Homo-oligomer: A and B are copies of this chain.
Amino acid sequence: MSDKKERTEISSLGEFGLINKLKQHFTLEQKSSIKGIDDDAAIIQPHEGEQMVVSTDMLMENVHFDLAFHPLKHLGYKAVTCNISDIAAMNAIPTQITVALALSSRFSVEAIEELYQGIHKACQDYKVDLIGGDTTSSRSGLAICITAIGQAPAQRIVCRNTAQKGDVICVSGDLGGAYVGLQILNREKQVYQAAPLAQPKLDGYSYILERYLKPEARMDLVHELAALDIVPTSMIDISDGLSSELLHICKQSKLGAVIFEENIPLAAQTIETATNDLNMSVLTCALNGGDDYELLFTIKQSDYEKLKNHPDIHFIGYMREAESGVSLATRAGQNITINAQGWQHF
């Protein structure tokens, strides 16, 4: 957070001045957005015959992000991504967001503008309108709370509790990269704190750093599945690690599952960095590391043919009866019971 450049104090603008400055770049593009910022509440005209989905996430400084290495613009983008990813996981199309921010006077107007640049970029990329929120002060850290709203016909909305026995378990992208990227950032932060003149060694880590700092919600896949006329039988986004999310689907669908180690998608940089730099099991990173924002979903076996050649969807296992439990079949031929090891907030 060292902006040596211009520094305008928030107090010189006041709350309404700040809001006016920030909102000027945001316009309403969605047909369903009738009224945005400027009133007690925003107004939405729901798409005819569609249901709405709503998700809220709160991000707290030094819990969910560290401003020592998270550029504010990327943070704004990521805060939106987390929420859009929840809408994607419902197989719905995001339409609007509200953003509530609490910040202390250590933030300059320029810093907040940077944060909003990231939010604005995300609104453009995900085609959602910023329709409201709150900007207030905090005694200490930065808090960001975003609510995302999406819409879809009822028959396309996908929950976690509707997987069926025999369904194929699919995962998009690759896993564990964000977690490994975070470990590298933490390592370099410690080096910097011990020797402030040392240059951070981040060359060669660009893929995993981007996975952590600027993840993308997989709206591309939501659109592709629609184009292929596939409705997943269940879906969840991977924010807390594959193990935890798979257990949610199993518990709520009252089923067991088996996944195969050899099928879990891993990027080369994730494998190399975990193994060589961090001396960690890359499998553990993929199972238990958070922040990937990929999609975990199940499909009917009859839909497998349509998806089997998709370059970015991986078939990692299948759903089975609850009595058989939830397990990982390793390359070595062992069966390991999967326990939740996702983020422990408390």
Contact partners of A15 in chain B: CB under 8 A: 343-346
Q: In the complex, which residue of chain B has the Cβ closest to the Cβ of A151?
A: B46
- Residue A61 at the B interface, CB < 8 A? yes
Q: Measured between C-beta atoms, what is the minimum distance from A263 to chain B in Å?
A: 23
Is A134 a contact of B58 with CB atoms below 8 Å? yes
Is A14 a contact of B346 with CB atoms below 8 Å? yes
Contact partners of A133 in chain B: CB under 8 A: 56
- Residue A136 at the B interface, CB < 8 A? yes
- How far, in whole Å, are A252 and B343 apart by their CA atoms in the complex? 46
Contact partners of A136 in chain B: CB under 8 A: 58, 60, 63-64, 345
Are A44 and B40 also in contact (CB < 8 A) when A63-B102, A141-B140, A147-B98 are? Answer: no
Q: In the complex, which residue of chain B has the Cβ closest to the Cβ of A17?
A: B346
What is the size, in residues, of chain A's interface with B at 8 Å between Cβ atoms?
75
Q: In the complex, which residue of chain B has the Cβ closest to the Cβ of A344?
A: B14
- Residue A160 at the B interface, CB < 8 A? yes
Q: Looking at the complex, which one of B51, B86, B139, B340 makes contact with A140 (CB distance below 8 Å)? A: B139
- Residue A145 at the B interface, CB < 8 A? yes
- Residue A96 at the B interface, CB < 8 A? yes
Q: How many monomers of this chain does the complex have?
A: 2
Is B43 a contact of A90 with CB atoms below 8 Å? yes
Contact partners of A87 in chain B: CB under 8 A: 40-41
Residue-wise interface mask of A (60-89) relative to B, using a CB-CB cutoff of 8 A (1 in contact, 0 not): 111110000000000000000000011101
- Residue A53 at the B interface, CB < 8 A? yes
- How far, in whole Å, are A315 and B41 apart by their CA atoms in the complex? 25
- How far, in whole Å, are A236 and B38 apart by their CA atoms in the complex? 11
- Residue A45 at the B interface, CB < 8 A? yes
Interfacial residues of chain A within 148-166, with CB under 8 A of chain B in the complex: 148-150, 154, 157, 159-161
- Residue A105 at the B interface, CB < 8 A? yes
- Residue A266 at the B interface, CB < 8 A? no
- How far, in whole Å, are A147 and B344 apart by their CA atoms in the complex? 25
* 5 closest A-B pairs by CB: A145-B145, A41-B55, A40-B89, A58-B100, A41-B53
Q: Which residues of A are in contact with B by a Cβ distance under 8 Å?
A: 10-11, 13-16, 18, 34-35, 38-46, 51-58, 60-64, 85-87, 89-90, 92, 96, 98-102, 105, 131-141, 143, 145, 147-150, 154, 157, 159-161, 235-237, 252, 340, 343-346
